[in-house]
Structure 1
Amino acid sequence: MPQEIGDIKKFIEICRRTDASSARIKKNNKSQQIKFKVRCQRFLYTLVLKDSEKAEKLKQSLPP
């Protein structure tokens, strides 16, 4: 079941949870959107960013 997150700090907290199993980054060059998707046990959390600088910083701060 998908859920969209609007806050970057909340998304990072979700990424650090123990039930977060995988993360994907999808780039849409046409609309300049970058989507971060994290699969947890119950939900698939999605964060949509339009700023590429914020997306780069978030990509570096995600756990491996």
Structure 2
Amino acid sequence: MGWAIRLLDDGDVISEDGEVLGTWDRDDEDHPFFIPAGETEVLFWDTYIPGLCDKIERWWRERA
């Protein structure tokens, strides 16, 4: 499955349009998480990257 967002190696999360949506990283238990641009708190986390991508993409589409 493809997503309209990408998690880049440098930690950025970008949309298919090139908009920087925020950053991502992994916690101490290796779970990926997402912090929206301009924020300091984690908005989403998941146990796996595909789940995180689904959450970020739904959030991004709802904002549009």
TM-score above 0.5, yes or no: no
Structure (1 or 2) with the greater strand fraction: 1
Q: Which has the higher contact order (CA 8 A, sep 6+)?
A: 1
* TM-score, structure 1 as length reference: 0.38
Structure (1 or 2) with the greater helix fraction: 1
* TM-score, structure 2 as length reference: 0.38
